[in-house]
Amino acid sequence: MSEGGKDGTHTEHLRLAGVVKGVHADLRKKYKDSSSFEKVWEEHCQNKQTLCQYSDAMHHLAVDHWAKHPGTRIEWTRDTVLEYFFKGGLIKQREKDARRKLHCSEKDDSEATQNENNESSALPEQNVCSGAADRTALNPRISSYNNIVLQFEGKIRLLDVGSCFNPFLDFEEFLTIGIDISPAKPSVYHCDFLHLHIMEPLQVAPDTMNTYFSSLKDPILKLPRESFHVLVFSLLLEYFPAPYQRWICCQKAWDLLMYDGILVIITPDSHQQHRNASMMKSWKRGIQSMGFIRWRYVKQEHLHCMVFRKIVKKEKEDNLISDITPDMLYIPQDFNDLNMVLVPNHSSESMLMKDEENFFMSTSLTELPLFSFDID
């Protein structure tokens, strides 16, 4: 490619990144200046021109500038989902659950009470010790708990929230439903996930379920509880200016997933892994308090990639006495006005966030993991 061509590509990359970051910055500013987020969000969703510019820019950024090589967040998600369901991931977790349950019952027999006043008492693994397995047997809503791994005559049902350009559609292992407030492709359904209504579960056979999801009507206003094997939030949560919106999204993910289903969260961060380690710990604790357990965490050069498995939710009382709040799903941009810098010659897109900057400016998101671990 000629120098002129490279320059042209670089300029276009900067322009697209500017559009995306400009929309994020504008939304955050309006949220900070307003007392009603609902109003800000409603106006945002009605601003079709801005939304279309954003989705078009995001689509081109992802397809023309980031995804020139294999190994993107999309491939990482696909490989990880397949590993979890088909290459022993889930089975190993179930074996660990069984061992833990055995260990807990042995412990219960030998020690009547041991006051463990430490952080681990807030972890969902303790659910198993505190009777969650019994609740699983008793609660009819949890009837799918033991079936999920056996139900794959069909495809893995995957709900891609904030899908934009439907990057998972072509993977034949998945029955993909892409939803977005502003789809960049006709195959993506219009849907505001924040206002999605959750219906009662469909009590039907898996193939009937798949037929149901293959014939959804646009826009999507409601979806049945406990019907997806996978939910994906790829570059979604940081779009929202308020932590409680991220919280609502994770709670809805829990509602929509089958037991043992997984929530994949991918969020940008171009710093070294340790820089925002406390933020990731906070996310982990907050999300786990909703009835998830983190199965995998990978830090790539520009991304945090997380997988949470849906387990039995803790009893409400546990959360009431704890310090769990939606603010745990914070991002640096929430309170870091110092991160705002003015970029000359970018007029309306001049408010750029340093924490987002390296990410959206990076030429490809294909780096190998810097850091990765499973839950134990």
Residues that bind ligand SAM (CB under 6 A): 55, 58, 62, 161-164, 179-182, 191-194, 234-236, 239
Smallest distance, ligand SAM to C-beta of residue 246, A: 11
Q: Which residue's CB is nearer to ligand SAM, number 193 or number 297?
A: 193
175 in helix, strand or coil?
Answer: strand
Collect all residues with Cβ–Cβ distance below 8 Å to 314 and sequence separation of at least 6. 124, 127, 289, 291
Q: Which residue's CB is nearer to ligand SAM, number 56 or number 173?
A: 56
Smallest distance, ligand SAM to C-beta of residue 178, A: 9
CA of 315: how far to CAs of 258, 324, 333, in Å? 18, 13, 32
Structure tokens at 187: 């195959």
Smallest distance, ligand SAM to C-beta of residue 159, A: 11
180 is in an annotated binding site: yes
Smallest distance, ligand SAM to C-beta of residue 300, A: 13
Q: Are 260 and 227 in contact (CB under 8 A)?
A: no
Helix (H) or strand (E) holding 132: helix 132-138
Q: Which residue's CB is nearer to ligand SAM, number 55 or number 276?
A: 55
Which is nearest to 57 in space by CA: 235, 267, 245? Answer: 235
Q: Are 220 and 189 in contact (CB under 8 A)?
A: yes
Q: Is the peptide bond before 167 cis (omega within 30 degrees of 0)?
A: no
CA distance 166 to 118: 44
CA of 146: how far to CAs of 43, 196, 201, in Å? 44, 27, 16
Q: Which segments of the chain are extended strands (E)?
A: 156-161, 174-180, 189-190, 197-199, 222-224, 228-234, 257-268, 292-299, 303-310, 340-342, 351-353, 371-374
Residue of minimal CB distance from ligand SAM?
162
Smallest distance, ligand SAM to C-beta of residue 51, A: 6
CA 267 centroid distance within chain: 8
Smallest distance, ligand SAM to C-beta of residue 147, A: 29
Q: Which residue's CB is nearer to ligand SAM, number 75 or number 192?
A: 192
Smallest distance, ligand SAM to C-beta of residue 176, A: 12
Q: What are the residues facing 347 on neighbouring strands?
A: none
Q: Which residue's CB is nearer to ligand SAM, number 162 or number 286?
A: 162
Q: Which residue's CB is nearer to ligand SAM, number 72 or number 93?
A: 72
CA of 157: how far to CAs of 80, 86, 226, in Å? 15, 14, 11
Q: Which residue's CB is nearer to ligand SAM, number 163 or number 270?
A: 163
185 in helix, strand or coil?
Answer: coil
> CB neighbours (10 Å) of residue 372?
13
Smallest distance, ligand SAM to C-beta of residue 44, A: 9
337 is in an annotated binding site: no
Q: Which residue's CB is nearer to ligand SAM, number 55 or number 93?
A: 55
Residue list, annotated binding site for S-adenosyl-L-methionine = 162, 180
